[in-house]
Amino acid sequence: MLAAVQKNATRGDPRSVVKAIDQFCRQKEWAMNVGDEKGCILDSVVTEVNPATVLELGTYCGYSTVRIASLLPSNAKLITLEFNPDYAAIARQVIAWAGLEDKVQLVEGASGDWIPKMKEKFGIETFDLVFLDHWKDRYLPDTKLMEECGLLRKGSILLADNVICPGTPDYLEYIRNSPRYKSQYFKSHLEYTKVEDGLEKSVFLG
Ligand X SMILES: O=C(NCCCCCn1ccc2cnccc21)c1cc(-c2ccc(F)cc2)cc(O)c1O
Task: Show which residues are catalytic.
Answer: 133, 136, 161-162, 191
Whether omega before 116 lies within 30 degrees of 0, making that bond cis, reads: no
CA pair distance 161, 180, nearest whole angstrom: 20
The distance from CA 141 to its chain's CA centroid, rounded to whole angstroms, is 17
Rounded to a whole number of angstroms, the minimum distance from the CB of residue 103 to ligand X is: 19
Which one of 56, 142, 161, 197 is in contact with Mg ion (CB under 5 A)?
Answer: 161
Residue 56 within binding range of ligand X, rule CB under 6 A: no
Q: Which is nearer to ligand X, 7 or 194 (CB)?
A: 194
Beta strands in 69-140 (DSSP E): 77-82, 104-108, 127-132
Q: Is 109 helix (H, G, I), strand (E, B) or coil?
A: coil
Least distance (Å) between residue 188 CB and ligand X: 11
Near Mg ion by CB under 5 A: residue from 22, 133, 142, 197: 133
Which residues in 76-180 belong to E strands, given as ranges? 77-82, 104-108, 127-132, 152-160
Report the site for ligand X in 157-176 (rule: CB under 6 A): 161-162, 165-166
Q: From 165, 164, 161, 148, select the one nearest 201 (Cα to Cα).
A: 161
Binder to ligand X among 18, 81, 106, 175 (CB under 6 A)? 81
Binders in 9-38 for ligand X, by CB under 6 A? 32
Q: Which does 14 bind (CB under 5 to 8 A by kind): ligand X, Mg ion, none?
A: none
Compare residues 65 and 111 and give the one whose CB is closer to ligand X. Answer: 111
Distance of alpha carbon 175 from the chain centroid: 18
Stretch that binds Mg ion, among 39-47, 67-75, 81-89, 157-165 (CB under 5 A): 157-165
186 binds, among Mg ion, ligand X, none (CB under 5 to 8 A by kind): none
List CB contacts of 7: < 8 A, sequence separation 6 or more.
20
